[in-house]
Amino acid sequence: MNAEQKDVLMRIGAALVFVQSAEQVIRLCMIFVLQKDSPLTIEKLEKQTREERKKTLGYFLGELRKRADLDESFDALLEEFLEERNILVHNVDDVPGWNLQTTEGRKIASAFVDGFIRKTVEILKVFAGLIRSWQEQTNFDVSVPTAEEFFAEIDTDYKSLVDDIFFEKGS
């Protein structure tokens, strides 16, 4: 496997992490922010969690459309996101020109994955905005550090620990 193939595979891995995060945030919104039944009780939450455990992303997007009217461009973005997610997860051969054995095919694969990641991040931001707005409306205050605060703490407190926690195999 050459460096270009590894690069594409790493991009695919990143895309899968992003899409899993987006799916979790969408589920969270569907459970708490855009509730099926109000008020949400522990019993309703447990029942809903059991019933929806194996539901697909398409199911949750369908439920979203039942519970809220969406801006047309955002709804189109959700459709593209779902379609591209399913292509990436189930059948990358549906991407015209996708081929990890050729330079041109890898460029096409990278472009597809990069575009998908951009869409996924945009969707994550929109749903995170929905959660933050809901938190304000319900006075549900959860302290969330800014990105600068988060990475400053990582850089000062955790980065220096890497060599003390992780070791090369066989050392």
Provide the residue type at 15 as one letter: A
Q: Is 12:90 a contact under the CB 8 Å cutoff?
A: no
Residue 99 above 80 pLDDT?
A: yes
* Spans of all domains in the chain: 3-145
Whole-structure pTM value = 0.79
How confident is the model at residue 126, as a pLDDT? Answer: 93
How confident is the model at residue 171, as a pLDDT? Answer: 59
Between 127 and 31, the more confident residue is 127
